[in-house]
Structure 1
């Protein structure tokens, strides 16, 4: 703005400056409208960035979920195989216990047969 010092009539200078201002400048001397437009643009850019970040985050979460679901499926399959193996091990253990019992029974039976043989031999003599 031009300095009005040294002028004989400062009011005239202000009027002349007002005439030189555009209609927009007179209607909005502090440029509030322009500031509002810029503010709206900044809000738009922030919203756009937030949406972009949300989409990226959601895609990342979905990818991680898919990987976790695959891992859970693998673990469940592994657990099923392990449970089957444990069942087979239990069955084998049961069979070994039966064999141990048969061994004890046959051992006792042999002992009895030997006793009977001894008695028969002693009677034959």
Structure 2
């Protein structure tokens, strides 16, 4: 008997291909698992050694940014005050002009 007669649907070949595919999938998963583990360990070591913070000086930069934001808010507040003063001065000028006109009419 030939192999084809014993396995007319090609199930043996399919089983071999399936086993090979499962092997490749498991191999790839194992590789990805190892890479992920190494990456996590590397990041954990970096965090434990404060490597990232030391290299980037994040705490100092965050403090500096907070100070700049606070200064910007203070400047914005001062500009808003100036806008209010400008409005008061403009209104006051209009009143002075009106009073001068009334005073001129009385004289």
Give TM-score scaled by structure 2 length: 0.52
Q: 1:110 aligns with which of 90, 93, 100?
A: 93
User: What runs of 5+ residues in structure 1 fail to find an aligned partner?
Assistant: 1-56
Residues 34-113 of structure 1 aligned to structure 2 (within 5 Å): 61=42, 64-65=46-47, 66=49, 67-71=51-55, 74-113=57-96
d(CA) in 1 for partners of 2:65, 2:72: 10
Q: CA RMSD in A?
A: 2.3
Runs of 4+ aligned structure 1 residues displaced above 6 Å come to: none
Q: Which has the larger radius of gyration?
A: 1
User: Are residues 69 and 94 of structure 1, via their aligned partners in 2, closer, same or farther at CA, if it must alter by over 3 Å?
Assistant: closer
Provide the aligned length of Structure 1 versus Structure 2.
65
Q: CA deviation at 1:63?
A: 6.4
User: Are residues 94 and 69 of structure 1, via their aligned partners in 2, closer, same or farther at CA, if it must alter by over 3 Å?
Assistant: closer
